[in-house]
Structure 1
Amino acid sequence: MSSSQRWDGYFGRFTINPLYVEMVLGRLRSDDIYNQLSAYPLPEHRSTALSTQAAMLYVCLFFDPNVLHNQTAKMREIVDRFFPDNWVISIYMGITVNLIDSWEHFKAAKTALTNTLEMSNVREYACKYSSRLQKLIPQTQQLLKEGVLVEENVLDHVSKVTNIIRECNVTLRWLMLHTAAPGAAWDGNKRCKQIRDQVINDAKYTPLQVFELLLNTAEFELKIKDLFKHLLLEKHNKWDSYKMEGRERMQELSEVFSGTKPLTRVEKNDNLKMWFSAMAKQIDSLKHDDAAASGRKIARLIQALDEVQAFHQLEANMQVKQFIVDTRRFLMQMVRTGNIKEEVLITLQIVGDLSYAWEIIDPYTSYMQQGIKKDPSLVIKLRATFLKLSSALEIPLLRINQARSADMVSVSQYYSGELVSYVRRVLHIIPETMFGLMARIVHLQTDVIKELPTRLEKERLRELAQLEERHEVARLTHAVSVFTEGILKMKSTLVGIIRVDPKQLLEDGIRKELVKQIATALNTLLVFNQKSKTSELMTKLESLEKIMDGYRRSFEYIQDYVNIYGLKIWHEEVSRIISYNVEQECNSFLRNKVQDWQSVYQSRTIPIPRFPPADNTSVNFIGRLARELLRVTDPKSTVYIEQKTAWYDMKTHNEIMNIKSFSKITRSVGTAGLTGLDRLFSFMIVTELQNFVNSLQRGILKDKGWLDVFSVVSKGLSPNTDTVSNPGRFYSQYTSRAQKVWPQILEWVLKVGQMQVIKKHIAYELNISCKFESKNLASALQAMNEALLSEIAAHYKDPSKPYPKESNPLMYELSTYLDWAGMSNPYSKIYITTKNLQYLALLLFLFAISQLGRLHYARNLGTLINKKSQEPLDGVPFVVGVQTVLRQFHPEIRNQFILYVSQYVKSYVESGISSKSPEFSAEAATGLHFLEMLVHYSGLPRNTLADHIPEPVLDQYQSLVSA
């Protein structure tokens, strides 16, 4: 389908009265409906003056394609009036159209455009605007010099100043539009490319020169506008002041010639006295409301003063002459002040429109950034450019405002936000460059400059001084401060309806670059080889710690030179990065995902970058770190020894991780990182527990065969039966039936237990860090927690006492603080809501005793470990996992479970007594150790066991253990 058919079909969907379309086109062809020609009086600027109307006409012509196809005379008239020197037009907010491509399939339109696209015509205009560019750049630079744009010069040459601004804007418009990169619609058109290349060659187009003229024009316009706005505000006051000064001088001269006021060598002259008195009255009668009449009258008064001075030879007396000269000067100032009109500002606003560059200004961004990098004070000129660009907001808002639409605020907010985003993008080169300088400072401070000892030998003073290196640090620091000074010179600016504060821009830019650098470092370094036999965890954490410490130290060093709160920014942004990545990682465990636009941690101004996943299991670095911790501390290959708070390899017996490893994690990813890991492990535990419970509900506890087995076993283990005869045979016959089920349950229990142990270490590290870094906060949280728990306990003792309601945010907020401060016990947490399951305690008991046979108590380690290396099983994660599962249900199930295990122990003890064995059997000893650990990790008192197992058995067990 051709372009013409496509346009015809698109606009042909609307049925509009042909007569109405013809009248609209006729009016657009002949009239100046936007009254722009008054702002562009020169004939050569007519196409620029009518550009807005031309864009409207271009669109309206598609509602009558017959004109475009067949009416050559009308199209010739349109082209001669609107497009004699231009073929790239802006329709709306930077949306450009190339008529060569757009009218290619319309015969009459294409024919009418032939003259405009003549090689000689294109060359003529390209050379014309090129020569203007070369002339205007030095001219504007001269006008922008200090002392040129003063009030008197501008008021005396208002027309000349306006003409220069008009010339600059017309030149900029033509060059920027006709050299702009091809749009998506006409990118492949060879004719468009050919004409554009010809313009670039003939005009000797240099983007840097166009950019320089844009800067000069914007600054020139801003200064003139500010001057005229100030003059308009002061117009009445200045007029009255000049009038009063002139009148008083005439009155004084009248008194001088009356003889009442003595003045050297001035004789009394009644005629002059009366003349000057009349002149004073004439000046007093002038009114600023009628500027034209007052201007003519002032001209006659000035002429009369010249005549009286010459006729009466008043030059002889210098004092009288000075009075006349002053009066003439004040009258001239009144003329100038009267010529200050709001029409000048309106003309400047019309002429200075930059809406056509809303999109095509983007290629000049690199020149802006290079200029700032070379000279940070350039931001002062850029401020004027941004303000000039903000004038483009008037176009989309004009009609909305006239219609008094409710969309006024939202549309204004949108375009203002887009422009502010562009300003941020341009000025981001400052923090980007600053970070490059800061990286070199960090390198010098950490790797090159040696720390001075408290005492040193005199001979080593020169060696440790490192004067060249310290001079380099000082030079780099000065460069950073210069960039800061450059952006802070840019005044607070209202861009659309958003006020841009340069200090806030600088801080946001620094935050954005900091976020980018830290997120990249975390994503790059925290990547682990899952198949590696030796873990890279500690090595990676040490490398990350060095980088993070470097950034933190650089912020600490540089904050005074850039006038920011470095430590505050550091903690806020690191916490935001970690929290965002934790949120995204936890999305995999949620049904309703938290999208980027919903995240409270994501920001449009300071976005947190997202990186593609480095493996198939984790979304980002926090997931990779958590899973590497799980891999390193796998209960099937390691043993956790609580007394040493460390994990050891089962085969080599080498220490793999200890409590200091978590301190290293803190130094690498901070408190936020540890808290994020804790939250992620909580989600993982919830998933494992839900899988476990769902599997039981859908499978084992609904299977009739299993239910029959449980019914038989529960009768055999009834509370009335204190012990079981021949326990070895009784228990094994039931545990052996579920050999296929136990491995899956064991995997769930071990995973939960392993993550619980890690969470316990995280809580300990957070608590120690909080007490060390913030004693007052730790004390306050502890006191608040105890007070709240006391109120809850008092309520349960006496329900009439008040209880913190669920709607009260206190408990939720305090819980968050306690988690961050490590003042919570993971072993006592309830992760999922459950219903009591029949035979659950019995099932867990059979599962536990089926695994106890694989464990034995190691006295030298003080914990349960596996008997055979071929059947690896770590006791602590196993016990903690069982305890955590029991914690999710009613305490009665846990009590029933302890009762079953106690009965198991007593049965084996009694069996040993009957066989006259002097020592506990292995099953009884392992069972007792299991119970001791279970009670310990559950936080229950030891007399819980005494309720079920006789004291002599517990005492003998303890003595045998300690022997």
Structure 2
Amino acid sequence: MIREKVIKLNKQVEQYLIEGVLVEEYVLKSISALLKFMKECNICLRWIILHTSELPVGADNNKRCKQMLQMVVTDSQYNPADVFKLLLNTAQFEFNLKELVSLLLAEKHERWIANRKEAVERLIELADVFSGAMPLTRVEKNDNLQTWFRKMAKSIESLDFQDWTSAGRQTNQIMTALDEVQQFHELDANMQVKQFLNDNKRLLSTMILLNNVQESTISIMDLVADLSYAWIIIDSFTGVMQEGIKRSPSLVTKLRATFLKLSSALDLPLVRINQVGSNDLMTVSHYYSGELVAYVRKVLQIIPETMFSMLASIVYLQTNTLRELPLRAEKDKLRDYAQLEERHQVAKLTHDISIFTESMLLMKTTLVGIIKLDPKRVLEDGIRKELVKQVATALHNGLTFNPRAKSSELIPKLDALGNQMDGFRRSFEYVQDYVGMYGLKIWQEEVSRIINYNVEQESNSFLKQKIYDFQSTFQSRHIPIPHIPPLGDGSINFMGRLVREILRVTDPRATFYAEQRNTWYDIRTKQPVVDILLFKKLRRAVGSFGLSGLDRLLSFMIVKELQLLTGIIQTIFQNKESSDMLDSFMRQLTPIDSIIAQPNRVYTNSVAKGASAWPTLSTHLMKVGQMQLLRQQIAHELTAAAKYDSKYLFYALKAFNDSFLQDIQQVYTNSSTQPNESADTMNELLYELGPLLESVGMNDVLQRVYISAQNHFLLIPLLVLYTISQVPRMITL
């Protein structure tokens, strides 16, 4: 029975939604019937939604409750698709009706006055016709009718809009009088007079109908259309909504009305707050509006998801199937290069994407609670959200390494990830015109945000004051970067895994670096392990943002190693035996302008006495040196990329940096100028300029100050002895 009721109401409401049915004249005449039908639809919806919703926590374990729910679902032949269709159609019907009624209320006074004025003018014209002044065909002069029509005109003119009850009663009396005079004097015989009278009755009837449309009509509609009971339950229809959008993208325009209907739930928590005049009204309004907007975004997210599933096919076709057309090709091979079937498939997928975009943009800007919902912004945020999800997942999966692998997976993984990212970027740029957005801008902004967020989270292991996910400036509520749990390899995310894999491959205990070739060689086999091409592959896989992120992580690691190193050196200095040995060695070197006697014995004995400290120092110093070399190569790659991709910006930045350095030198070398006068301005400028210079590799990593430590007079002899102890190893290499 319920199912038949739902189907019947669906058919009826669909009739009302046909273009040209729900017009002003029909609404004015049938407002009561329309409100009654609207009430019937909402009662049916309320009953079936509440009686078939999932059981709340606690009741879901009650056997009796489960049986009752199952019985209702079975007896009512509950079909979520039919109920959702009724909800959708009812919301659209209410939206159309409310728009018409609101328009009528807004124009009610002006239209009522205009109709009254026109009715008066027509009756005066009719009176003039019977006076003989404006002769019509076959209309004889009649002073009685002339006087009567003028009297009726004055009666209509005296109607008061404010006293609509009295005005309505008088208008009905005038219409009755017009009918009587038309019949009594047989005015139907003259078509022109009859037309005048019918027009007057139509105008008077419209005035009565306009009086029937009151402000309370809107209140009744809001009360009847209330959907606050489904604030939580509506989430169960999310899947049905999204499936409907996938089948028919134009459904989005109807969903707009459904979301507006759901916004009626905002009124309930605000009624009492508004009545007491609380200052929390705006805060609470903003909260509930934000929750509703979040739900709207959740429902409409299916559009970007579907678009990206199509985009994945385009990525595959462009990356693996379509071949680039050469500058010159033989005529016989043109058909092979054309690849008509594949290109037709790409065109079809692109067209489908544009259809989804168009349907989304047809949804007009909507005020949800107190938040304005712009469909273009929602679509862009949805695309950004899905892009972030896809790219973050690709980076996570692509930069996962097996530490037990016999040979390093670094290069193959970077190649595969680079191909995937290239496919993403090319396809995103390809469809940007079809979705009406700046694809490259979105790509760069979101990829940089993903990289910077992961670098920030990975850096937390080196910081005392950590930046948590909810504190990050790179995280967003509407476009969240997915937080993927660590894999238990010591890294928090893919950036940590990548930098540690690079350090593992270039481990100074297993490799050595040849500066002339910019290559790391295996110590045993003397075969190249990685070369400068590694950094080109890194840039292709994670972009310049990824290289900058690696550089930042390496800086943190260097700081950590230097802190450990200074601690070890302090321990050596605090050891009396070690400090005495270093002091004795330093005295033997004086004077420094002459060669010491028996240098072989002095150096050998001193190195032997400090032999226990050299392995520990080597461990940390080699790590620092290794990371410094990597930072140099990263800076070189960033500089080369900046010169190639944005030559003018690079040289503009370089010119600015050079001129700024000259200004600093001039300030500190000019005795007449106090350095403190410009210090604040220069510090602010340096704070902004520093990251820009690092992003293009315009920094000397060997001149970088990482930590500050107290100088010690024994540091020089310690480093001299350590260097001498490592010379044999360097000669062996």
TM range (shorter): over 0.9
Against the structure 1 CA distance between its residues 243 and 477, is the aligned structure 2 distance closer, same or farther, given a 3 Å change threshold?
same
Deviations 1:856-896 (A, max 9, x none): 2xxxxxxxxx35xxxxxxxxxxxxxxxxxxxxxxxxxxxxx
Q: Aligned match of 2:635 in 763, 769, 773?
A: 763
Which of 415, 418, 421 is matched with 1:545 structurally?
Answer: 418
Instruction: Find the partner of 2:357 among 458, 476, 484.
Output: 484
- Identity of aligned pairs, percent? 52
2:26 pairs, out of 149, 153, 176, with 153
For residue 700 of structure 1, report the CA deviation from its aligned partner. 1.2
Q: Give, as a single letter, the amino acid of the residue that structure 2 aligns with 1:771.
A: K
Letter in 2 for 1:728: N
Write the distance in 1 (CA, Å) between the matches of 2:282 and 2:57: 31
Give the drift of 1:445. Answer: 2.3
Counterparts of residues 460-479 of structure 1 (less than 5 Å): 460-479=333-352
Large movers: runs of 4+ above 6 Å: none
1:911-942 Cα offsets, whole Å, 9 max, x none, are xxxxxxxxxxxxxxxxxxxxxxxxxxxxxxxx
Distance verdict in 2 for CA 1:800–1:530, change over 3 Å: farther
Paired residues of 1:674 and 1:766 also in contact (CA < 8 A) = yes
Deviation of the 1:619 alpha carbon = 0.8
- Do 1:528 and 1:536's aligned partners in 2 also have CA atoms closer than 8 Å? yes
Q: Provide the residue aligned with 2:516 in structure 1.
A: 643
Q: Structure 2 matches for 1:119-518, cutoff 5 A?
A: 127=1, 129-518=2-391
Q: How many angstroms does 1:453 deviate by? A: 3.0
- 2:679 pairs with 1:805: yes
Unpaired segments ≥5 residues, structure 1? 1-126, 857-865, 868-963
CA distance in 2, matches of 1:488, 1:302: 49
Q: Cα distance, 1:315 vs. partner?
A: 1.7
Asked whether the equivalents of residues 511 and 606 of structure 1 are also in contact (C-alpha less than 8 Å), the reply is: yes
Instruction: Give 1:620-635 correspondences, 5 Å limit.
Output: 620-635=493-508
Task: Mark the CA change 1:802 to 1:566 in structure 2 (over 3 Å): closer, same or farther.
Answer: farther
Q: Name 2:707's counterpart in structure 1.
A: 832
Amino acid at match of 2:562: L
AA aligned to 1:756 is Q
CA gap of 1:504–1:802, structure 2 versus 1, over 3 A, is farther
| Structure 2 gap ranges (5+) | none
Q: Which amino acid aligns with 2:618?
A: L
* 1:356 CA drift (Å): 1.2
What does 1:73-112 align with in structure 2 at a 5 Å threshold? none
Pick the aligned partner of 1:526 from 399, 405, 410: 399
Report the Cα offset of residue 155 of structure 1: 1.4
Matched, 1:850 2:725: yes
Cα deviation 1:215-252 (Å, max 9, x = unaligned): 11111111111111111110011101111111111111
Q: Aligned-pair distance for 1:794? A: 1.3
SS in structure 1 of the partner of residue 530 of structure 2: strand
Q: Distance in 1 between matches of 2:645 and 2:207?
A: 70
Task: Verify: 1:747 aligned to 2:619, yes or no.
Answer: yes
Sort the Cα spacing of 1:823 and 1:240 in 2 relative to 1 into closer, same or farther, 3 A: same
* Contact preservation (8 Å) 1:659, 1:761: yes
Alignment of 1:821 with 2:696, yes or no, is yes
Which residue of 2 is the match for residue 900 of structure 1?
none
1:738 and 2:610 aligned: yes
Letter in 2 for 1:745: L
Is 2:42–2:225's contact at 8 Å kept on the other side of the alignment?
yes
1:535 maps onto 2:408 in alignment: yes
Matched, 1:708 2:580: yes
Q: CA deviation digits over 1:508-530, x for unaligned, max 9?
A: 11101100010001000111122
**CA shift for structure 1 position 720:** 5.2
Q: Could you tell me how far 1:264 is from its partner in structure 2?
A: 2.3
Provide the rounded CA distance (Å) in 2 between the counterparts of 1:841 and 1:570: 51
CA distance in 1, matches of 2:547, 2:593: 49
In the alignment, the residues of structure 2 paired with residue 458 and residue 634 of structure 1 have an alpha-carbon distance, to the nearest angstrom, of 53
My pick for the range that moved more, 650-659 or 594-603, is 650-659
1:724 Cα offset (Å): 1.3
Q: Deviations over 1:809-847 (max 9, x none)?
A: 211110010000110010110011222224112211121
Aligned to 1:656: 529
Q: Distance in 2 between matches of 1:409 and 1:387?
A: 19
Q: Distance in 2 between matches of 1:310 and 1:376?
A: 58
Amino acid corresponding to residue 413 of structure 1 in structure 2: H
Alignment of 1:47-62 (within 5 A): none
Structure 2 CA distance for aligned equivalents of residues 229 and 383 of structure 1: 18
Matched residues, number: 730
Q: Report the Cα distance in structure 2 between the residues aligned to 1:355 and 1:394, rounded to whole angstroms.
A: 8
| Residue 463 of structure 1: how far off its partner (Å) | 3.3
Question: Residues 548-572 of structure 1: CA distance to partner in whole angstroms, max 9, x if unpaired?
Answer: 0001011111000010100000000
Provide the residue aligned with 1:907 in structure 2: none
Cα deviation digits, residues 255-308 of structure 1 (max 9, x gap): 111122232222221111111111111111112111111111111111111111
Q: Which residue in 1 is equivalent to 2:462?
A: 589
Q: Give the Cα–Cα distance (whole angstroms) in 2 for the partners of residues 569 and 292 of structure 1.
A: 61
CA contact (8 A) 2:425 2:443 kept: yes
What TM-score, normalized to structure 2? Answer: 0.97
Give 1:467 deviation, angstroms: 2.2
What secondary structure sits across from 1:761 in the alignment?
Answer: helix
Answer yes or no: is the 8 Å Cα contact 1:762–1:822 preserved in 2: yes
* Structure 2 letter corresponding to 1:199: V
| Counterpart in the other structure of 1:888 | none
* Whole-angstrom CA distance in 2 between matches of 1:237 and 1:688: 82
Greater RCO, CA 8 A, separation 6+: 2
- 2:318, 2:423 within 8 Å by CA — same for their partners in 1? no
Deviations 1:723-781 (A, max 9, x none): 21111110121211222211111111000000000000100111111111111211111
- How far off its partner does 1:799 sit? 4.6
* Paired AA for residue 248 in structure 1: E
Q: Aligned-pair distance for 1:464?
A: 3.1
Q: Tell me what 1:778 maps to.
A: 650
- 1:766, 1:820 within 8 Å by CA — same for their partners in 2? yes
Q: Structure 1 residues 454, 245: CA separation in 2 closer, same or farther (over 3 Å shift)?
A: same
SS of 1:146 mapped into structure 2: coil
> Helix, strand or coil for the counterpart of 2:233?
coil
Q: CA contact under 8 A between 1:522 and 1:544: conserved in structure 2?
A: yes
SS at structure 2 position matched to 1:853: helix
Q: CA RMSD in A?
A: 1.4
TM-score, normalised via structure 1 length: 0.74
Once the two structures are overlaid, the 10-residue window that deviates more, 842-851 or 448-457, is 448-457
Which of these residues, 682, 694, 705, is aligned with residue 567 of structure 2? 694
Which structure: greater helix fraction? 2
Tell me, in whole angstroms, the C-alpha distance in 2 between the residues paired with 1:634 and 1:680. Answer: 17
* Structure 1 residues 453 and 181, CA gap change in structure 2 (3 angstroms): same
Task: Tell me, in whole angstroms, the C-alpha distance in 2 between the residues paired with 1:700 and 1:400.
Answer: 70
Deviation by residue 1:142-163 (Cα, 9 ceiling, x = unmatched): 1111111111111111111111
CA contact (8 A) 1:794 1:801 kept: no
